[in-house]
Amino acid sequence: MFTGIRKSRRCLRQSKTLKFTCFLICIFSLAFTSRSTHADEYLPASLVEEAPPEAVACEPECEECTGPDFWSQSTLTENLFARRPCLAEQGITFDADLTQFYMGVASGGLEQEFRYSGHGDYVTNIDSGKLGGPQGLFVKLRAEHRFGEGISDATGAIIPVNVLADLPVADSTELYLTNVLFTQMFSETFGVFAGKLDTLDGDMNAFAHGRGKTQFSNAAFVATPIGLRTIVYSTLGTGFLILREGEPIFTFTVLNSTDTSRTSGFDELFANGAAVIPELRLPTNLFGRPGHFLFGASWSSRDYASLEQDPFITLPDIPIARETDSWSLYWNFDQYLFVDPCDPTRGWGVFGRAGIADDRTNPIDWFLSLGIGGNSPISSRKSDTFGLGWYYSATSDRLAPFIETALGGVGDGYGVEIFYNAEITRWFHLTADMQVLRPARQTADTALVVGLRAVIEL
């Protein structure tokens, strides 16, 4: 605490323009430290009695206080919360970002208009071992919300063109806790997890993933849409994982079959059945370059409304026809074709997805996508990324005739998306996105969707 005061005074002498900023930092530091009542009780006596204040201070040296490097800092608020690195050393990290979209249907689709929408994501990770608790125990908390109006319903496509704008709950702007996940690692290769979790981090792919904010926007390239019927977004679950060299190679998850983004989920736990999702992701080294093959499946015991529903279900004496379960099988791959010899974390390559599902209950019978993506090949734009993808979604032929009539006819859907993600600063990325879609709804013309996505790392 006193170290922070001395350093702030030195900063004040170096730059008059930072007097007010350093004053606020000092006040924040004092307020934060005052909350750690009786902190000395948790330190060894030798540190409390003998160590000078500098030995336990986490603030940077005063030479770094001469002014914030606004353009090269990794987050927008990096210089406003100086204790964040200190907390990270103690096992607590906080990541937040704000994603904004201005996208619209320039031609075709169901409506030609542009809309503004956005998404806030706030993630805290806790390493219990660094805090003095049980070793190998990790806690993940995620809160998120959306705002504005998404554009997916204006295209006529079944698969959302901008998945993040509709999460976590498409018709609500409230802040929801979608992750409260506890993971206990028993070794470097095996662990178990339980709690409330979101499923968008599944179906990992190096070039087509990113939760809809760092790579593609269309749900067809974020995760397999073939599993949307059986795998809900956020709910209670448990399972185990096996790691190899720090990467999960196998996960087995049992989920509540009902989405509980709005609630804790305990009242609905397994009331409507359960879903089982195994995933195997194996690293490859084709052509001497890294890649992966992923094999996944889902099965849900939930009762689903049959797609072959008779139109007379509107009569009160005739019950809705049900199917007792549903399943899906999916596969994806990513393969680097070029790796920067000076930086092995940079490169570009190809990707693909394929899957089939139970056509009795899933409106998507089978799915296929292919594409290319990765870091920009422009030598002066090494931090930029790009992607070009194509997908085909085959609609189930079990759809009842009256459903097709109500929608004006339903066929297969397919489309193309291309994006270029430019790093303006380390904490600000701007993405230009264009999609050409042949919607499944036959009354909708081919849609041209264009727009911008701005991501600010807070």
Q: Which residues pair with 236 in a beta bridge?
A: 196
The residue to which tokens 């049980």 are assigned: 134
* Local structure of 87: helix, strand or coil: helix
Rounded Cα gap, residues 458 and 446, in angstroms: 37
427: Cβ contacts below 8 Å, ≥ 6 apart: 73, 74, 75, 76, 78, 456, 457, 458
The model's pLDDT over 4-23, given as tens digits with 9 standing for 90+, comes to: 434 333 433 334 333 334 43
E-strand spans in 66-170?
Answer: 92-109, 114-127, 137-148
Where do the CATH 2.40.160.180 domains begin and end in the chain? Answer: 86-457
Q: 231 — phi, psi (to 5°)?
A: -110, 105
The model's pLDDT over 372-422, given as tens digits with 9 standing for 90+, comes to: 999 998 888 889 999 999 999 998 776 655 455 556 667 789 999 999 999
CB 217 within 8 A of CB 211: no
Confidence of residue 58 (pLDDT cuts 50, 70, 90): very low
Position 398 scores a pLDDT of 65
Superfamily of chain region 86-457: Carbohydrate-selective porin OprB (2.40.160.180)
Average pLDDT value for residue range 125-153: 93
Q: Please give the model's pTM, rounded to 2 decimal places.
A: 0.77
